Amino acid sequence: NAGVTQTPKFRVLKTGQSMTLLCAQDMNHEYMYWYRQDPGMGLRLIHYSVGEGTTAKGEVPDGYNVSRLKKQNFLLGLESAAPSQTSVYFCASSYMATSTDTQYFGPGTRLTVL
């Protein structure tokens, strides 16, 4: 059981480049989430998904797109990277979003946009 994995672990982009971050979970969880973590800001929700084929906006969705084509994968895309998107990105999943379901986090992807 790998839990939640993220690819890649590190990436450096130039302004305007695009990339996709991959999150995979093997726990058969319905819900998946993308957060970004910035110094002094805590974890902020970018987008989330309540099941295969669904996505919804979180607190800071601008500049990102997501897709959930398969239940186990949740992709985060940056179409035209900006320095403001330099951050550590965490993916998480939960079985559902009932009041007692905890979220399981991946190891993070450190992205630098120059």
Partner 1 sequence: ILNVEQSPQSLHVQEGDSTNFTCSFPSSNFYALHWYRWETAKSPEALFVMTLNGDEKKKGRISATLNTKEGYSYLYIKGSQPEDSATYLCAFLRYSGGGADGLTFGKGTHLIIQP
**Residues near partner 1, by CB under 8 A:** 4, 33, 35, 40-45, 48, 56, 58-59, 90, 97-108
Q: Which is nearer to partner 1, 22 or 45 (CB)?
A: 45
Least distance in angstroms from the C-beta of 52 to partner 1:
17
* Count of beta carbons in the 10 Å neighbourhood of residue 27: 13
Q: Which is nearer to partner 1, 17 or 101 (CB)?
A: 101
Q: Which is nearer to partner 1, 22 or 104 (CB)?
A: 104
Least distance in angstroms from the C-beta of 32 to partner 1:
10
* Count of beta carbons in the 10 Å neighbourhood of residue 2: 9
Length of the chain, in residues? 114
Least distance in angstroms from the C-beta of 41 to partner 1:
7
Least distance in angstroms from the C-beta of 107 to partner 1:
5
Angle at 40 between CA 38 and CA 45, to 5 degrees: 45
- Tell me the C-alpha distance between 99 and 81, whole Å: 35
Report helix, strand or coil for 105.
Answer: strand
